[in-house]
Chain A
Amino acid sequence: MADNLLLDIRGLVIEATSYPPGEPPKDVTLVHGVDVQLEKGKVLGLIGESGAGKSTIGLSAMSYGRGGVRLTGGEILLNGRDIRPAAAWQLRRLRGREVTYVSQSAAASFNPSKRLMEQVIETCLSHGVMTRPEAESRAVGLFRKLGLPNPETFGNRYPHQVSGGQLQRAMTAMALCPKPDLVIFDEPTTALDVTTQIDVLAAIKEAIRDTGVAALYITHDLAVVAQVADEIMVLRHGRKVEHGTTDQIINHPREDYTKALVSVRSLEHAEKPEAAPILRIENVTARYRGTTFDVLKNISLGLPPGQTLAVVGESGSGKSTLARAITGLLPPTKGRISFDGRPLSAAFRGRTRQDLREIQMIYQMADTAMNPRQTVRTMIGRPLEFYFGMKGRERDLRVQELLDQIEMGKGFADRYPAELSGGQKQRVCIARALAAQPKLIICDEVTSALDPLVADGILKLLLNLQAETQMAYLFITHDLATVRAIADKIAVMYKGEVVRYGQKSDVLAPPFDDYTDLLLSSVPEMQLGWLENVLEHRRMASAGN
């Protein structure tokens, strides 16, 4: 066992200096004495929410502290020697040779002014691992293995000339090229669309298996890591919560926090029956000003009162544009939208105050949706004042009622957005929408910027509020787990068109059209072997055709 150990981190302590504006700088501890062991050829998943310290721990395997982060305590034994106190020149011999790194954003991590091949084989040459012809042929081999198009000539391109998914694979090739002992994958698929993610994930998994390299796989998505890791370590606030085999963590979690992570996104919502719609969208076509390309093509949808219509699609599908068309920010070029039986003016400027009040919107990034110079009281109070003429004490009481409704209680009314957490910000945005007493709320990816547990909390809140007030939701998302949790009806969008639409039970049941099938099957599920099953299924299907 001991001589099989590649990486042995003991009692790792990591600190950083934070510079709060207007206050003296202070030291904060990011990682409090964590142990990590990794055997040769194995894959360890590091999982946690933002702030868990997973990336920081991952990079410590290269004895690297990002942005002023300091590795202040413990031992980092790589192949038996402690690299924490190693000198800069010793680290240079190790980085890029024994340990390599794949980042979340390959697009930013490639030098824009150099060809991909130069960058992929750079470490092989600088560390003297192999000659240029050897390195180039190995790189081409890796390109092929990772499923990149035209592997022979792929390396001649510049980073901006290839897609995001391809860059992520090219970065994997770059990490594997010098035949390292360990690769650190830092959220390598998080920035990708779900249908791209599955391909990249499969390519990474196969490449790890074939080269026999060990890997640290860092992600916030347990379902993803379950597909590639042999073992999983759950982290929270810089401490280890639980460590075990993938099977144990997924199927028999011991700690409450792990159980919560495993059961996340398993919310189910019973579908309500069909009814006459309150929002009716008929043959809507729209394009942005100055372009000749329709981003929405002939969309027809309906949403009954008190129900949720989920609009699902990947980036570029037009789902957010649909929200802009409904709110009147982007007047459609063709088609009609009616609400509660009356036609809506195409542009929001032409709508009555009642129309504006009854349709509210919640955004993905609560950060940019809140005026940083207004307190929570002003933000929630303004719609009360504006629509209902409430003033003074009456308004303040109502603001507090709304805060109670979003489960935030007392003491928040006088805070500024900067003093709230991500989840709290989103709740305040919900309260601001509620204050208008709307009949419809458009939710544009409201949970996708949040950690999974926080996102679950928001979804539950939205469901409770719907049960209380009978509001309708138009819920825009790329995440099918969210759809299952909240929707009564579903519309699947692809390249500006609705490719599938109906009651949730119908949309999610076969027979599927090709795109819905691809989309549904690409969503990682919290079970071992899911990736293999999907790939096998797809292989059979294409062989059958």
Chain B
Amino acid sequence: MHPILKLLVQRIALGLLLLFAVSAVIFLGVEALPGDTAQAILGQSATPQALENLRNQMGLDQPALTRYFNWLGGVLTGDLGKALTNGVDIAQAIGQRLGNTLFLAGCAALISVPLALILGAVAARYAGRWPDKLISGVTLTTISLPEFVAAYFVIFLLTIVIPVFQPVAMVFPGMSFWAKLQAVALPVIVLVLVVLAHMMRMTRAAILNVMQSAYIETAELKGLSPMTIIWKHAFPNAVAPIISVVAINLAYLVVGVVVVEVVFSYNALGQYLVDHVTKRDLPVVQAVGLIFAAVYIGLNIIADVTAIIANPRLRHPK
């Protein structure tokens, strides 16, 4: 087998193993935490009878491992169980919301990725001079902001100081695509802001790293034009680190989405998760947590896989 194929298979297998381990942590780890799950859900004032009923309902009388594999089997066949609080089928509830979350994250990604790459390249091109210092200063500031603070700054600016938007982002089925876009404009701006800083800084670092290589000096001493140097010598070596940067930052985005959805009362997965953490609705929390973890791990696998594929030493072994 080609060594690169072997590495890829290894990396993907490792990712799947990790995902499996994560599912175990999410299910069994939570069970192992101190505190009675049923008690936590019903509160201190619950009667012993109510506790007993809930335990039966949740299957808490069975051994944890059995319940875990039942749960895992369900997850793999698309059956995520029913919410404790209202008995609604979780898979169904998630379906629509997942779409909304992906729509929001997708819009943010479409704007932030090209913007971050361009700004990162500009900062790297003028490293140490004022465009770099300006960009780095601004991004250092935005990195210091938690998502919700950034969100309120944006809301304050764009709904009160310059009133152009509504501070709530409502989407519902049947809305036209344009109406949807308009509705998510504010949360998208916030997400872009939050993820842009990280992505830009990492892009800058990746490009600078390549530009400082001896082979770039060789290209300069060959009398090649700056464009040729960047296009033919820097770019092929910078692609892999940059794709990794993008994938890692899309993973950041996954977390940012949770908070931003709450800020804008955007009816999607993150909001759903936070709601049910508050209600201590464990099956929902576990299911949604697993979905977020899976997306995060998936993006990290993509980052590693591109790094492997783009490495000439691995592509053309001795």
B51 to chain A, nearest CB (A): 54
In the complex, the answer to whether B221 meets A92 with C-beta atoms within 8 Å is: no
What residues on A are CB-neighbors of B316 within 8 Å?
Answer: 158, 160-161
| Partner-binding segment picked from B26-34, B178-186, B211-219 | B211-219
B283 to chain A, nearest CB (A): 46
Known contacts A111-B219, A158-B312, A105 near B224 by CB under 8 Å: no
Compute how far the CA of A394 lies from the CA of B233 in the bound complex, rounded to whole angstroms: 62
In the complex, the answer to whether A94 meets B215 with C-beta atoms within 8 Å is: no
Compute how far the CA of A110 lies from the CA of B214 in the bound complex, rounded to whole angstroms: 8
Q: Flag whether A396 is at the interface (Cβ < 8 A).
A: no
Compute how far the CA of A113 lies from the CA of B316 in the bound complex, rounded to whole angstroms: 9
Number of A-B contacts defined by CB within 8 Å: 71
CB-CB contacts below 8 Å: A27-62 with B:
62
Q: Flag whether A72 is at the interface (Cβ < 8 A).
A: no
Compute how far the CA of A176 lies from the CA of B228 in the bound complex, rounded to whole angstroms: 21
Which has the most chain B C-beta neighbours within 10 Å: A97, A108, A111, A122? A111
Q: Flag whether A100 is at the interface (Cβ < 8 A).
A: yes
In the complex, the answer to whether A97 meets B223 with C-beta atoms within 8 Å is: yes
What residues on A are CB-neighbors of B313 within 8 Å?
Answer: 112, 158, 160
In the complex, the answer to whether A126 meets B223 with C-beta atoms within 8 Å is: yes
Q: Flag whether A91 is at the interface (Cβ < 8 A).
A: yes
Q: How many residues of A contact B (CB 8 A)?
A: 28
Q: Flag whether B318 is at the interface (Cβ < 8 A).
A: yes
Q: 1/0 per residue B218-248: CB within 8 Å of A?
A: 1111111100100011001100000000000
Q: 1/0 per residue B164-179: CB within 8 Å of A?
A: 0000000000000000
Among A66, A158, A161, point to the contact of B217 (Cβ < 8 A): A66
Known contacts A111-B215, A112-B312, A101 near B237 by CB under 8 Å: no
A57 to chain B, nearest CB (A): 15
What residues on B are CB-neighbors of A111 within 8 Å?
Answer: 215, 218-219, 233, 236-237
What residues on A are CB-neighbors of B220 within 8 Å?
Answer: 64, 95
In the complex, the answer to whether A96 meets B221 with C-beta atoms within 8 Å is: yes
Which has the most chain A C-beta neighbours within 10 Å: B218, B233, B318? B218
Which has the most chain A C-beta neighbours within 10 Å: B215, B220, B223, B228? B223
Size bracket of the B interface: 20 to 34
A337 to chain B, nearest CB (A): 37
Compute how far the CA of A236 lies from the CA of B316 in the bound complex, rounded to whole angstroms: 45
In the complex, the answer to whether A96 meets B222 with C-beta atoms within 8 Å is: yes
Compute how far the CA of A93 lies from the CA of B223 in the bound complex, rounded to whole angstroms: 6
A178 to chain B, nearest CB (A): 9
Compute how far the CA of A62 lies from the CA of B217 in the bound complex, rounded to whole angstroms: 12
Compute how far the CA of A269 lies from the CA of B221 in the bound complex, rounded to whole angstroms: 46
Q: Flag whether A123 is at the interface (Cβ < 8 A).
A: yes
Among B217, B219, B312, B318, point to the contact of A113 (Cβ < 8 A): B312
B159 to chain A, nearest CB (A): 46
Compute how far the CA of A127 lies from the CA of B236 in the bound complex, rounded to whole angstroms: 22
Which has the most chain A C-beta neighbours within 10 Å: B213, B218, B221? B221
In the complex, the answer to whether A94 meets B223 with C-beta atoms within 8 Å is: yes
Q: 1/0 per residue B109-129: CB within 8 Å of A?
A: 000000000000000000000
What residues on B are CB-neighbors of A66 within 8 Å?
Answer: 217
What residues on A are CB-neighbors of B236 within 8 Å?
Answer: 111, 113-114
In the complex, the answer to whether B215 meets A108 with C-beta atoms within 8 Å is: yes
B2 to chain A, nearest CB (A): 15
Compute how far the CA of A158 lies from the CA of B311 in the bound complex, rounded to whole angstroms: 12
In the complex, the answer to whether A126 meets B224 with C-beta atoms within 8 Å is: yes
A78 to chain B, nearest CB (A): 13
Among A92, A112, A158, point to the contact of B223 (Cβ < 8 A): A92
Among B217, B224, B225, point to the contact of A122 (Cβ < 8 A): B224
Q: Flag whether A503 is at the interface (Cβ < 8 A).
A: no
A256 to chain B, nearest CB (A): 36
Nearest to B221 among chain A residues (CB) is: A101
Q: 1/0 per residue A84-112: CB within 8 Å of B?
A: 00000001111111001101010011111
B216 to chain A, nearest CB (A): 8
In the complex, the answer to whether A105 meets B318 with C-beta atoms within 8 Å is: no
Nearest to B216 among chain A residues (CB) is: A111
Known contacts A112-B237, A113-B312, A160-B313, A105 near B223 by CB under 8 Å: no
CB-CB contacts below 8 Å: A61-93 with B:
62, 64, 66, 91-93
Q: 1/0 per residue A185-229: CB within 8 Å of B?
A: 000000000000000000000000000000000000000000000
Compute how far the CA of A111 lies from the CA of B232 in the bound complex, rounded to whole angstroms: 10
Compute how far the CA of A338 lies from the CA of B224 in the bound complex, rounded to whole angstroms: 62
In the complex, the answer to whether B224 meets A108 with C-beta atoms within 8 Å is: no
CB-CB contacts below 8 Å: B15-44 with A:
none
Compute how far the CA of A158 lies from the CA of B316 in the bound complex, rounded to whole angstroms: 7
CB-CB contacts below 8 Å: A330-360 with B:
none
What residues on A are CB-neighbors of B228 within 8 Å?
Answer: 126
Q: 1/0 per residue A111-127: CB within 8 Å of B?
A: 11110000000110011
Nearest to B214 among chain A residues (CB) is: A108
A161 to chain B, nearest CB (A): 5
Compute how far the CA of A108 lies from the CA of B232 in the bound complex, rounded to whole angstroms: 16
Would you give 9 A-B contacts (Cβ < 8 Å), ordered by A? A66-B217, A96-B221, A100-B221, A109-B218, A111-B236, A112-B313, A113-B310, A123-B222, A160-B313
Q: Return the 8 tightest CB-CB contacts between A and B, nearest first.
A: A95-B223, A96-B222, A96-B223, A108-B214, A92-B223, A113-B312, A111-B215, A113-B236
Given A96-B221, A111-B236, A111-B237, 14 other A-B contacts at CB below 8 A?
Answer: A62-B221, A92-B223, A103-B217, A108-B214, A109-B217, A111-B218, A112-B215, A113-B237, A113-B310, A114-B232, A122-B222, A123-B223, A158-B313, A160-B312
Interface residues of A (CB under 8 A from B): 62, 64, 66, 91-97, 100-101, 103, 105, 108-114, 122-123, 126-127, 158, 160-161
Interface residues of B (CB under 8 A from A): 213-215, 217-225, 228, 232-233, 236-237, 310, 312-313, 316, 318
